Structure 1
Amino acid sequence: MATDITDIVHAVEASAVMRLLPGRPRLLALGEPTHGEDTLLGLRNELFRQLVEQEGYGTIAIESDCVAGLAVDDYVTSGTGTLDEVMAHGFSHGWGAFAGNRDLVRWMRAHNVRADQAGRPASERLRFAGVDGPLEITGAASPRQALIALHRRLSAWLSADLLPCTAETLDSLLGTDDRWTEPAAMMDPGRSVGQSADAAQLRLLAAELAALLDTQSPHLLTAASRDDLDRAHLYARTAIGLLRYHHWMADTAPARLTRLVEIRDQMMAHNLLALAERGPVLVNAHNSHLQRGKSTMRMGGAPLEWWSAGALVHAQLGGQYAFLATALGTIPHQGVDTPPSDTVEGLLYARPEDQCLVDAARLATILDGRRPAPRVSPWFGYAPLDPLQLSDVDGVVFVKDVVRGQLRLVNSPLGHG
């Protein structure tokens, strides 16, 4: 597919990203087609640094447990805990073990204390957030942590007669956490507690506790800090989302798995919209969670189709949401070799740049009628770029070769180690 695209290829820099967009978006999404590669994490870190220093971005959000991520945010904003502790306990999906994530957290903490060594004002400190629910592919967490934390905060701010229940009632209904985290429940609905009488009562109580945040908002605005209220809302969203997730884990309807992936992305979307209210955010997650179109996958042998978090956020924010999809050339250690020349990845791989940013709209126009072939990956963990979705992407970030264990930090102060 011999095509000259030199005029639409740029360096992967914040300034080049902004030139592709009509204005600075409240949510800038950087997708990735595979997880756990430090080459991609290094690129993300450098882009975030530039967005902070040149464009005023103040928050980075990643595809990790939103409740666990509060510990990381406490560390980068106020130094609570240690770096080792937050890397061990502040991430889900094993993300805390990756050098790129450790470097990000270390740099954010250093940035927040660097202003003449006196520290930055709270309003100017960088923030960290997880946007995923407390979910793993094999199941979901107990709603205990979120429910109890929400109840504890409301109890501190409101008189007891306003609350729909006591903490003891919640504890009794929740029971032991292992009844919620039963591994077999993902494939066997009969092993899930999600549609028990206790779970139904907890869903009602969670909704009532969340409603108090709205009905008592005039008082709460004077009784609590903005951060405390934001966290209370996070706990409320998480508790309600987890209880819905467990409900559908216990269901036997054909739509069961579709509902589960829908709920996960809805939880992510709600978290992203809440973050966007306090300033511009860079979010990093899988392309399939951030794209504007519908997402598809096979799970349990069945094809699933649902609206991603990016699609839901775009429906709310419109032009204030921008999406950069990352595409790759090779991942040698996973058997992903040089892409065929008739694919979009093949076209980009033929260029000399190790990394580049491509104007997706103009690329789609150039390729109009040529119908590049979709790339097929020999490894299930890499999802190639869908050429039919180019028109729904603001930019394509292309990385020629993903090298195991290598952080590609060009002129970056984020150290490795």
Structure 2
Amino acid sequence: MTPQLRAAARPFSAAALTDLVPAGTRLLALGEPTHGAEEFLDLRNELFRHLVTAHGYRSIAVESDCLAALAVDAYVGGAAGELDTVVREGFGHGFGESAGNRELVRWMREFNAGVEEGERLRLYGADGPLEMTGAAAPGPALIRLHDFLAERLPAELLPEREELLRRCGPDDRWTEPAAALDPARSVGRTADADRLRLLADELGLLLAAHRPQFHADADALWRAELDARTATGLLRYHAATAGDGPDRINSLMRQRDLMIADNLEAILRREGRRGPTLVFAHNRHLQREASRIPLGDRQLLWWSAGSLLESRIGDGYTFLATTFGHRAPDDHPAPDTLEGLLATLPEPRTVLDPGLLAAALGETGVVRARVPADHTYFGLDPEALGWVDGVVFVRDIARQQGLFGGG
């Protein structure tokens, strides 16, 4: 450990981390290098509690299904339910099994029990209804959007509900797991899907054009706009799934991060008067630079949700990256990597100023990015420190379990 590195580092506390957050931040993005590690969820929970009690934050968005999260938000607002069931069913990607997500929801509900309605905390899902095996059917969101408009607009303005139902068909035609790897099994570019994309666009246009008429019922309007974004995004995603060109995987990545960015921008519009929002997701989604993932002999490259948001809200976007050193039982960083250098720090968790950290790296000659031991995480690129507002290093994490942890 060098004097320059020591000067860049402070023992972790939520206050030390928020000291790095610029004034005027509207969306504070906290990334994680891997899914399934409880250490990063604990860190997130500590930070969010501090942001709520000391900095006026009233909302958090997580990398999870935006529609399923509605039930979690209702629960933290006081709706009836059983905590374990709400968390298990309300978080996508298997994240409902996490103790950290359970604790987040429990604390938010407890906090909300003691405040007025306008001060209550909200939880959002930033992601689309997407899983590793495919995407949800667009029908439920599309039908809800149609029904919202049909209650408020003349019937002659809307397409027939029966046509929507007929062209959507059963949900399982859209959720066929084999389509993830075989474009021919996807219905995303059939005549029905093409027609539904046009109808979704027409319904979204009606919603936007008549927005002043619906503005008084803010909660219903929020749900309708969420359904409009989700139906349109799902139809685009299914169309990309059905593509068979060399850009197919890149297209899916682009569609997903665009959905995340659109959802987060909408959340900011809704929450702006109440305070900034914290978002927690993978570093690759939230980073400012383009995302890159090696895939065989090819390199996937697409603009991350963070880069999209940076282009939209500018200085209102702040990104805090996290990384780790040792993972049980035998995953250790090489000494000449960023994580290997940070592992020489004495504290179990450390907050680092990225500018001072970059200077320390220059002194040591450490320039090599960590090569992951497996597919479940990505190291923090030393070349990307100029794109980061703060770094949190966790020295040791346990071996993760499940789909993303490889256990």
| TMscore range, shorter length | over 0.9
- Say if 2:131 is the partner of 1:139: no
2:405 counterpart residue number = none
Instruction: Give, in whole Å, the separation in 2 of the partners of 1:267 and 1:301.
Output: 28
- Corresponding residue for residue 16 of structure 1: 16
Shift of 1:341: 2.1
TM-score where L is the length of structure 2: 0.93
Q: Which residue does 1:287 correspond to in 2?
A: 283
Structure 2 equivalent of residue 414 of structure 1: none
Over 4 Å off, 4+ runs: none
Shift of residue 205 of structure 1? 0.7
Please tell me whether the aligned partners of residues 146 and 238 of structure 1 are also in contact (alpha carbons under 8 angstroms). yes
The alpha carbon displacement at 1:301 in A equals 6.0
1:83 alignment counterpart: 83
Q: 1:217 aligns with which of 211, 217, 227?
A: 211
In structure 2, distance between residues paired with 1:122 and 1:160: 36
- The residue number in structure 2 matching 1:325 is 321
Which amino acid in the other structure matches residue 170 of structure 2? T
Equivalent position of 2:385 in the other structure: 390
- In the alignment, the residues of structure 2 paired with residue 354 and residue 385 of structure 1 have an alpha-carbon distance, to the nearest angstrom, of 18
The correspondence of residues 156-305 of structure 1 with structure 2, limited to 5 A, is 156-163=151-158, 165-222=159-216, 224=217, 226-277=218-269, 278-279=271-272, 280-299=276-295, 302-305=298-301
Pick from 300, 303, 306 the counterpart of residue 307 of structure 1: 303
Secondary structure of 2:393's match?
strand
The one-letter code of the counterpart of 2:199 is L
CA distance in 1, matches of 2:46, 2:400: 17
For residues 344-381 of structure 1, give each alpha carbon's deviation from its aligned partner in whole angstroms, at most 9, with x where no partner exists. Answer: 11221111111011001221133237342211121210
Q: Deviations over 1:309-350 (max 9, x none)?
A: 0110011111111111101011114x312x222221122111
Aligned-partner Cα distance in 1 for 2:106–2:310 = 31
Q: Which amino acid aligns with 1:233?
A: E
Partners of 2:97 and 2:210 in 1: CA distance: 41
Deviations 1:87-121 (A, max 9, x none): 121111111111110011011000000x2xxxx22
Q: Contact 2:320–2:389 (CA<8 Å) still a contact in 1?
A: yes
AA aligned to 2:183 is P
Q: Letter of the aligned partner of 1:355 in structure 2? A: R
Distance, in Å, in 2 between the alignment partners of 1:240 and 1:15 is 40
Name the SS for the 1:64 alignment partner.
strand
TM-superposed CA distance for 1:292, in Å, is: 0.4
Say whether the 8 Å CA contact 2:14–2:46 is kept in structure 1.
no
Change in CA separation of 1:300 and 1:242 when aligned onto 2, cut-off 3 Å? farther
Q: Quick check: 1:41 aligned with 2:35?
A: no
User: Following TM superposition, by how much is the alpha carbon of 1:276 offset from its aligned partner in structure 2, in angstroms?
Assistant: 1.5
TM-superposed CA distance for 1:8, in Å, is 2.2
1:378 alignment partner in structure 2:
373
Structure 2: segments with no counterpart, 5+ residues: 402-407
CA distance in structure 2 between the partners assigned to 1:158 and 1:78 by the alignment = 32
Partner deviation per Cα, 1:157-177 (whole Å, 9 max, x = no partner): 3232222x2322211110111
Stretch deviating more after TM superposition (375-384 or 189-198): 375-384
Q: Secondary structure at the match of 1:5?
A: helix
- Specify the alignment match of 1:411 in structure 2: none
Name the amino acid aligned to 1:266.
L
CA distance in 2, matches of 1:384, 1:361: 18
CA distance in 2 between counterparts of 1:22 and 1:198 reads 48
Paired with 1:2 and 1:357, the residues of 2 have a C-alpha distance of 16
Kindly, what percent of the aligned residue pairs are identical? 51
**SS of corresponding position for 1:4:** helix
Please tell me whether residue 28 in structure 1 is matched to residue 22 in structure 2: no
Q: Over residues 252-298 of structure 1, what are the superposed CA-to-partner deviations in whole Å (9 max), with x where a residue is unaligned?
A: 22211111100000000001111112131111111000000011113
| Matching residue of 2:112 | 112
Residues paired across the two proteins, number: 396
Instruction: Give distance in 1, aligned partners of 2:152 and 2:84.
Output: 33
- Structure 1 unaligned blocks of 5 or more: 407-417
Note if contact 1:27-1:321 (Cα within 8 Å) is conserved in structure 2. yes
- Distance (Å, rounded) in 2 between the aligned partners of 1:12 and 1:170: 53
1:32-71 superposed matches below 5 A: 32-71=32-71
Q: In the alignment, which of 356, 379, 403 is matched to residue 362 of structure 1?
A: 356
2:395 maps to what in 1? 400
Distance 2:252 2:61 in 1: 22
Question: What is the distance in 2 between the residues matched to 1:20 and 1:246?
Answer: 40
Which piece of structure 1 moves more, 191-200 or 250-259?
A: 250-259
Shift of 1:24: 4.4
Give distance in 1, aligned partners of 2:213 and 2:79: 30
CA shift for structure 1 position 250: 1.0
**Residue 45 of structure 2 aligns to a residue in which SS?**
helix
Structure 1 residue 3: deviation in Å? 5.0
